[in-house]
Chain A
Amino acid sequence: MKYDAKTDPLGQMKAFKTAFSEVVADPDWKNARLIERQRWNPYSFEGGSTCAIAGADFVVLASDTRMSQHEINIITRDAEKMHVLNNNCVLATSGFYGDVLQLKRVLMSRLHKYRFDFGSEMTVDLCSELLSRNLYYRRFFPYYTGAILAGVDENGKGAVFSYDPIGCIERLSYTASGAAEPMLIPFLDCQIGHVTLADGIERPALTIERATSLIKDAFRGAAEREISTGDKIHLIIARAGQPITSTFLPLRED
């Protein structure tokens, strides 16, 4: 903005104000990431990770219970990231906690309607498609969560479904999501997917004890090297024909 200091003092003031606000908005010494953070963002990231393993007739899910703010402050050590929707389905999510809660409400409402319409609980296969569609309905303002849906399907087999924020669905035998996803999945690839084993070597069977111990080890390893994972492990086990159990185990609190 051109101004003539000698003849236009008011213009000089305006020019100074404009220049100042421009510098505040886009300073030379800040990179784009910092500037992006200062702009108002409808999303915030509460951190945490979740993981699920499917077996022959069971599923094991685990998440940490830490909720953090700006990746540095701990808001609470008892946050619930896994929600038991009905006796067939368990939803495990992490990311933006507001969307986590909203997703849970949406699914509970739809399951409630299903119960009313059909007189029985929705199975995990149908619920997985429902969740995929509900995530895609918000294609242009997504739920910022990496959702995992797990349960024992109608054939009695363990089912784990993994989603991306806009609803790409995939049924897998193990998956993880959240902040420590890049640390958990290679560990599970090695121990459950056996990718590093040569062809001839015998692969250990995936029993429920092995799955539970693997998932605990995975979280302990993640808590060592990831700042927003820690405090407690929330463990949920769903077996065919048995009620869903939920326990808490201690984890590093630092």
Chain B
Amino acid sequence: MASNCSVDVWMGAPTPGDNQTLFDDIFNQSFPQEAPVSPQRFAMELPGSPASPIDVITDCPDLQQPVEQKPYVTHPPRRTTSRQAPLAGTSRQRMKKGRPTKAVASNSKAQLAKNWRMRKEEEERQKSQTIQDQASLIAELKREIDQLRYHQNQPRVSPSQESVLKIAKEFVGAHFGRDAKNLQFRKGTTTLAFVYEPATPNDKGGIIIAVDSRASAGEYISSKSVMKVLDIGDRMVATMAGGAADCQFWTRVVAKYCTLYELREKTPITVAAASKYFANALYEYKGQGLSVGSMVCGYDKRGPAIFMVNSEGDRSQLKVCSVGSGSLNAYGILDNHWKAKMTDEEAKALGWRAIMHATYRDAGSGGVCNLVHITPDSKIRYPGRDVSQLYYEFAQELGRDIAYEPHDE
């Protein structure tokens, strides 16, 4: 085993792997052993590392104490005398003089080495323990400081109170603030549509769409004869509410898409698909100021359908729908009189009645009422009826005398 000792100790480092004798790693260390790495030294030796130790950033600045530089070689000084020489005197004599007995004195090299190694490990463990303790202590202290700072800056409101305040602020802002999204009043119009089934075999059933015809620019009525029912295809229409130019332009875009679809697929487009395309086109401009509240109504292979599409990104399928500033009034009438099965005449009368009531009480709606009836096989447009005339006709029906008769009390 001794013959395996390398002679060329100056030329290269004996790696711990080869020539492994029991105490080679201790007694054959003749060239510089690496000292335990300090951050500065490590940084200087790496290629491309910052030139000066000042640039080095360490995690824990508190631990930037100079690490103890270990001595060059760390093995116990060699013994000059041989252990195997017999000790003088008998055991008893030696004991009297206070010298170690043979048993103790005859500790072998192996045992010594082992003791030394264990002591070293113990030292290292203790040292690392202290370092760890220090680091963890520092980290803990930092965490505490952060917590305190955070708690200092928080408002002195309990979590439940906070959420209530937030909700209240949002509500007020949404309804009364500068950018109040009170959509009903911006879209000065009334449009409505509903689906119904035929009550008798004479009736056709389908969809009734009724709209007013007023376009306002602020308080001025810029037009009293706007056509708010725009054609998309042969069996589909879209109503107009909100910005007139926006609705016209985007309905044309959708109509173009539907025509192309029909040519490509050789089947008419469904209302769901057309409204989806519409909604997607509007969503691209969400937040930029378009104002569209449209109902896409039509008959397709799945039956009658009404989809309400919004410039806010809404799209929903409904049986009874109304959009615009007068929609609240129209809903009142529709919810009252709508039935799932109606005759054609009942359905048309309901459309006219709802628009009449809406225009009566809403300043943003007026003009003439245009009605469109989409049946399973046709689309019928009725001529416009003046809404003031409608009022008189419905009042007559109720038997109400609306003539003004002044009387003295």
List the interface of chain A (C-beta within 8 A of B): 132-133, 135-136, 139-140, 162, 164, 166-170, 172, 182
Contacts and interface: CB of A to CB of B under 8 A. Distances in A.
A130 to B, nearest CB: 13
Contacts of B244: 164, 168
Contacts of A139: 245-246, 249, 290
19 contacts: A132-B245, A135-B245, A136-B245, A136-B249, A139-B246, A139-B249, A139-B290, A140-B289, A164-B217, A164-B222, A164-B244, A166-B243, A166-B245, A167-B245, A168-B244, A170-B223, A170-B225, A170-B227, A172-B223
Give the top 8 A-B pairs by smallest Cβ distance, nearest first: A168-B244, A168-B245, A166-B245, A167-B245, A136-B249, A168-B248, A136-B245, A170-B223
B366 to A, nearest CB: 13
A77 B248 CA distance: 37
Contacts of A162: 223
Dominant secondary structure at the B interface: mixed
B225 A167 contact: no
A212 B249 CA distance: 34
Dominant secondary structure at the A interface: mixed
A167 B248 contact: yes
Interface string B209-249: 00000010100101101110000000000000001111011
Given A132-B249, A164-B244, 11 more contacts: A132-B245, A136-B245, A139-B245, A139-B246, A139-B249, A140-B289, A164-B222, A164-B245, A167-B245, A168-B215, A182-B220
Contacts of A140: 288-289
A172 B224 CA distance: 11
A167 B244 CA distance: 9
A198 to B, nearest CB: 13
Contacts of B226: 170
Contacts of B225: 170, 172
Interface in B107-139: none
Contacts of B217: 164
A172 B213 CA distance: 14
B100 to A, nearest CB: 83
B354 to A, nearest CB: 25
Contacts of B246: 139, 166
A204 to B, nearest CB: 21
Contacts of A167: 245, 248-249
A140 B287 CA distance: 12
Contacts of B288: 140
A109 B227 CA distance: 31
Contacts of B289: 140
Contacts of A136: 245, 249
Contacts of A164: 217, 222, 244-245
A164 B249 CA distance: 13
Interface in B349-393: none
B215 to A, nearest CB: 7
Contacts of A132: 245, 248-249
A245 B182 CA distance: 50
A166 B248 CA distance: 11
Contacts of A166: 243, 245-246
Interface in B244-272: 244-246, 248-249
A140 B285 CA distance: 11
Nearest to B222: A164
Contacts of B227: 170
A172 B217 CA distance: 18
A132 B245 CA distance: 9
A162 to B, nearest CB: 8
Nearest to A129: B252
B226, B227, B245, B246: residue with the most chain A Cβ atoms closer than 10 Å = B245
Contact of B249 (A133, A170, A172, A182): A133
Contacts of A170: 223, 225-227
A139 B244 CA distance: 12
A194 B228 CA distance: 24
A169 B222 contact: no
A168 B215 CA distance: 10
A1 B234 CA distance: 67
A182 B244 CA distance: 20
B220 A169 contact: no
B23 to A, nearest CB: 77
A169 B248 CA distance: 8
Contacts of B245: 132, 135-136, 139, 164, 166-168
Nearest to A169: B248
A132 B217 CA distance: 18
A166 B244 CA distance: 9
A136 B285 CA distance: 14
